[in-house]
Amino acid sequence: MCRLLKVARSSFYAWLASERARAARRAADDALAHEITVLHIASRHTYGVPRLHAELRRLDRRVNRKRVKRIMRERDIAGITRRKRRSLTRPAKKAVPAADLVGRDFTAAAPGRKPVGDITYIPTDEGWLYLAARLDLATREIVGYSMADHHRASLVVDALTMAAGRGRLHRVLQSQIGVRL
């Protein structure tokens, strides 16, 4: 049979001799799967691999995280992710694309001539923190920023005011956006 399957005879006998070790491994995996299932049910089916691994470690059960992941995958045990994606953009009533004021040219001849910016949000324990930043295209330096618990236009205006107050905006640009110092 080994010749027909093109397997070395020594490999067959090694596989045959390791049957006891494989059975012990299966029994250990079944016992671990039972513990994982009990912990998973105790967590109301919410814990995933990281939390179940931490619980097992807390109970002085030294087990590899990858092994926990494999056993959970084999037995279709999965945690619940309750985090929701939050969209900050809302479609306009009439979809009119914004004008490209930079003209896809992200270079500037002198500092303070072309500020660009973005708004991002950061989850904190107290809620969302919104950050507006102004970047000077000539120096690639953040020249103004503003943080608040909202993402209204005043957040962007405060970032521009900070950039102008630090003397990082060109005077012509300051008059165009109406920033008074």
pLDDT at residue 163, as a whole number: 80
Alpha carbon distance 123, 142 (integer Å): 22
SS3 100: coil
- Topology of the domain comprising 84-181: Double Stranded RNA Binding Domain (3.30.160)
Helix-then-strand count for the chain, H and E: 7, 3
Within 10 Å of residue 164's Cβ, how many Cβ atoms? 23
Average pLDDT over residues 69-91: 82
pLDDT, one tens digit per residue, over 164-174 is 777 766 665 55
Alpha carbon distance 32, 34 (integer Å): 5
pLDDT, one tens digit per residue, over 49-68 is 999 999 999 999 999 999 99
Residue at token pair 């012990």: 24
Residue 129 CB-half CA count within 13 A: 9
pLDDT at residue 170, as a whole number: 64
Domain boundaries, the chain: 2-74, 84-181
Give yes or no for residue 131 having a pLDDT over 50. yes
| pTM recorded for the entire structure | 0.44
Burial 43-79 (b: 16+ CB within 10 A, else e): eeeebbbeebbebbeeeeeebeeeebeebbeeeebeb
pLDDT, one tens digit per residue, over 10-38 is 999 999 999 999 999 999 999 999 999 99
Query: For the purposes of burial, counting CB atoms within 10 Å of the CB of 33, is it exposed (0-12), middle (13-18) or buried (19 or more)?
Result: middle
pLDDT at residue 20, as a whole number: 93
Alpha carbon distance 50, 64 (integer Å): 11
Give yes or no for residue 181 having a pLDDT over 50. no
SS3 72: helix
